[in-house]
């Protein structure tokens, strides 16, 4: 067997990578120390960022890809996969992340979009992508563009889980509605939700998204993480919820354990004891429309 006979970046490899993350917690980190804490706590991957979403929100201005020096340092520090965020449509940021050795690119609404019409053509990349979605149509459009993993958008940096709940319930509900429909009915659905018919049919048949589906945006406690798992998430992203908490180490370990024990309230009660306060947060209702992140992306 020679290394030259190998095929890279196939759909199977990209979607397979996402499957290895199932049942896990992916944590936002901004430096090597945080990355080490995340890995020790049992995170399945880290998202390398310049600032966590809560701070991005506070800072305002244009949010871009993180400094490559930060990402490179985090890559050198941990053995688990490292993900990075690129602006929506900014395929050059995505290429830079790929060149740095990032294991998955998040084309993220948390950053300021670089293209107000098109998302990145993700099929052209060797590394897999994860994209946010609020409903089934959005999820299937992203998968059609090559996304190997979907996450709910929620409302990042708030510590308010309500939008993630809304988006997960919406997607799950729309999938359930596809059950038992004839092909012509599915074609009508495909038109209405602006998604390719092939993916609508595949979703109807599988009764789940054709790729791994995580929850993200506002998850701040072990109970939040368990809630999202109960709603059918394959795993969770925790952004500001770890390092804006009073005791990040404890919060990180507790959320990892909560994802493994999501259906056991007695164990969840134990896990949630004495882990310090969660991030302060901000309710989504109190945020002016122009500062809402989830409406970015098309």
8 touching another protein, by CB under 8 A: yes
Q: Check if 273 is active-site.
A: no
- Minimal distance, residue 59 CB to another protein, in Å: 30
Q: Which is nearer to another protein, 31 or 261 (CB)?
A: 261
The token pair that represents 166 in the structure block: 């809304």
In SS3 terms, 257-287 reads as HHHHCCCCHHHHHHHHCCCCCCCCCCCHHHC
Q: Please tell me whether residue 295 adopts helix, strand or coil conformation.
A: coil
Locus of tokens 């970046």 = 9
Could you give the CA distance from residue 298 to residue 277 in angstroms, rounded to a whole number?
Answer: 36
Choosing from 127, 238, 258, 275, the residue that interacts with another protein (CB under 8 A) is: 127
Q: Which is nearer to another protein, 190 or 236 (CB)?
A: 236
Choosing from 3, 62, 69, 179, the residue that interacts with another protein (CB under 8 A) is: 3
- Minimal distance, residue 28 CB to another protein, in Å: 17
Largest Cα span, the chain? 60
Q: Which is nearer to another protein, 269 or 277 (CB)?
A: 269
Catalytic residue among 85, 122, 166, 244: 85
- In order of 1, 243, 244, 251, 279, the CA distances from 248 in angstroms are 46, 5, 7, 5, 10
- Which residues here bind another protein, judged by CB under 8 A? 1-3, 5-10, 12-13, 16-17, 19-24, 39-40, 42-45, 75, 78-81, 98, 101, 103-104, 126-128, 256-257, 260-261
- Which of the residues are catalytic? 85
């Amino acid at each position: 067997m020679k290394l030259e006979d190998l095929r890279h970046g196939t759909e199977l490899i990209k979607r397979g990578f996402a499957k290895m993350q199932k049942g896990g917690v992916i944590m936002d980190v901004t430096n090597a120390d945080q990355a080490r804490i995340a890995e020790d706590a049992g995170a399945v991957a880290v998202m390398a960022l310049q600032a966590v979403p809560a701070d991005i929100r506070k800072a305002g201005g244009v949010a871009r890809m993180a400094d490559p020096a930060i990402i490179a340092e985090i890559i050198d520090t941990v053995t688990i996969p490292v993900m990075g965020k690129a602006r929506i449509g900014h395929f050059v940021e995505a290429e830079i992340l790929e060149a740095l050795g990032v294991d998955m690119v998040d084309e993220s609404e948390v950053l300021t979009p670089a293209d107000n019409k098109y998302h990145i053509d993700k099929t052209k990349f060797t590394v897999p992508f994860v994209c946010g979605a609020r409903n089934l149509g959005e999820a299937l459009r992203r998968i059609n563009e090559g996304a190997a993993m979907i996450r709910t958008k929620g409302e990042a940096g708030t510590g308010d889980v309500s939008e993630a709940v809304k988006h997960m319930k919406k997607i799950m509900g729309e999938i359930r509605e596809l059950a038992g429909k004839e092909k012509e009915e599915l074609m009508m659905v495909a038109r209405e939700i602006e998604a390719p018919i092939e993916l609508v049919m595949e979703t109807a048949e599988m009764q789940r998204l054709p790729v791994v589906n995580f929850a993200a945006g506002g998850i701040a406690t072990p109970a939040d993480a368990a809630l999202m798992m109960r709603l059918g998430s394959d795993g969770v992203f925790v952004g500001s919820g770890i390092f804006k908490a009073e005791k990040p180490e404890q919060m990180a370990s507790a959320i990892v354990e909560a994802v493994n024990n999501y259906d056991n309230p007695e164990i969840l009660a134990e896990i949630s004891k004495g882990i310090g306060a969660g991030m302060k947060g901000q309710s989504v209702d109190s945020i002016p429309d122009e500062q809402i992140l989830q409406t970015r992306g098309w």
